[in-house]
Amino acid sequence: MEPVEVSPAVLAQARGLFPPGGSVDGRPSFEMWRDGPLEAVRQLFGSIFDELPDDTDLPGVKYWQTIRTPLFEPMGFFAIRDTNGQIEIYGFFEETGYSALVDDDPE
């Protein structure tokens, strides 16, 4: 498995969404995010980066979306291989509102 770096901007964004130690309103902690969804996509990108399809709008960029879990909404992660051959996760987003949409669907 190849090493996968995470950009400082991604870590800063995640700390804003998932406060270290968690939050009083029940948001998961940064540590849970780091050890859960982030670690899963790091392993995925590190194992099969070159086999993943490119993002349709961004050639050379790989994209992966996680599924909803009891703690996290689905998340999309973007990674690229830089000119030195290093894989870096440089962006992510959380599908906010996904649970409410799905949970309200009568089917």
CA pair distance 96, 71, nearest whole angstrom: 12
pLDDT in tens, 38-90: 999 999 999 999 999 898 888 899 999 999 998 999 999 999 999 999 999 99
Which domain covers residue 66, as residue numbers?
4-103
CA pair distance 56, 54, nearest whole angstrom: 6
Domain count along the chain: 1
Q: What is the pLDDT of residue 97?
A: 67
Q: What is the pTM of this model?
A: 0.86
